[in-house]
Amino acid sequence: MNELGPSAPAGARNLVIVVLDSLRYDSWVAAQPPNLASLGPVEQRWSYASWTAPSHYNLLMGLLPHHSPQGVYASEYYKDDFLKYSERLGIEGIEFRKMLPSLYIPTYLRNTLGYRTAAMVSMPVLNEHTCVNRDFDAYELMPTHNDMAAMLDKLEFSDERPSFYLLNVGETHYPYALPDEDPSEWPRISGVHGVFKRLDDEPGKGDAREFFDQDKMRELQDRQIRSVEYVDGVIGRLFDKLPSNTWVIVTSDHGELFGEERYFGHGPVMHEKVFEVPFVEGMVP
């Protein structure tokens, strides 16, 4: 114990969780990102929630996207899944019950295991005044929603204390814009820019309900794929900055709909693609 709290166990690793907001599993696969691939094979997993806030809260409880296992009690799955934190952190004896009663990874890492805890988030819905910000030593809503590279200069690691970082990355979120792209060039979901068509524009269709133009939807997913290609370059620079004793997890908080069954985006959507997310983890390459 010192003035900062408990001393970390010897050999404790840094942990960095990168959440590529809204990234669909198949957009990651289409992008074939080489730096992310160097972390390990990407897995298809399932988010516990269909939008940003509950999904981040859940993963900060330690419950990362799941495998949807059949024939298992949820409580058993949670327990087994949690044991993996021993490997991730390089600390023996991590157990779910040791997180009681707060059930929050930042609390456990900081107050029990002696970590420095920090978050940089891109989505305003995760801003520092929300309940997601509990037991973080540093927590910042980034000035722009789509600039992961701006996070790199702010990363701090020390030999005294292991670090936990949550990085919520927005380039992969609608409008899938790279930081140097002029906002006037961003696509807009509105009739003016023609993402919507009206069904009664179609010959033989008398129904006036709007639906999504599939060509525009494909363009939007292509933009998300391009954003993964770009972010992968930033991830490569992130890997160069991380100390060698760092465990990295890269995943998404939820998927995105690109016109399937007349859905676009995420949130109030009940569709497989809003829960399907990529997941990869391992020691920093």
Task: Report residue 203 as tokens.
Answer: 């010959």
Footprint on residues 1-60 left by Zn ion (CB under 5 A): 21, 52
- Closest approach of Zn ion to the CB of residue 51, in Å: 6
- Closest approach of Zn ion to the CB of residue 217, in Å: 19
Instruction: Closer to Zn ion by CB, 21 or 147: give it.
Output: 21
Instruction: Closer to Zn ion by CB, 21 or 281: give it.
Output: 21
- Closest approach of Zn ion to the CB of residue 22, in Å: 5
DSSP code of 112? I
Instruction: Assess contact for 115 and 164: CB atoms under 8 A.
Output: yes
b/e code 196-232 from CB counts within 10 Å (16+ = b): bbeeeeeeeeeeeeebbeeebbeebbebbbbbbebbb
Q: Please give the distance of CA 93 from its chain centroid, rounded to a whole number.
A: 27
- Closest approach of Zn ion to the CB of residue 181, in Å: 20
Footprint on residues 198-257 left by Zn ion (CB under 5 A): 253
Q: How far apart are CA 15 and CA 83, in angstroms?
A: 15
Instruction: Closer to Zn ion by CB, 144 or 214: give it.
Output: 144
- Closest approach of Zn ion to the CB of residue 157, in Å: 27
Of residues 18, 43, 44, 27, the one with CA closest to residue 167: 18
Q: Are strands 163-169 and 210-212 parallel, antiparallel or unpaired?
A: unpaired
Instruction: Closer to Zn ion by CB, 52 or 146: give it.
Output: 52
Instruction: Closer to Zn ion by CB, 52 or 117: give it.
Output: 52
Footprint on residues 104-143 left by Zn ion (CB under 5 A): none
Residues that bind Zn ion (CB under 5 A): 21, 52, 253
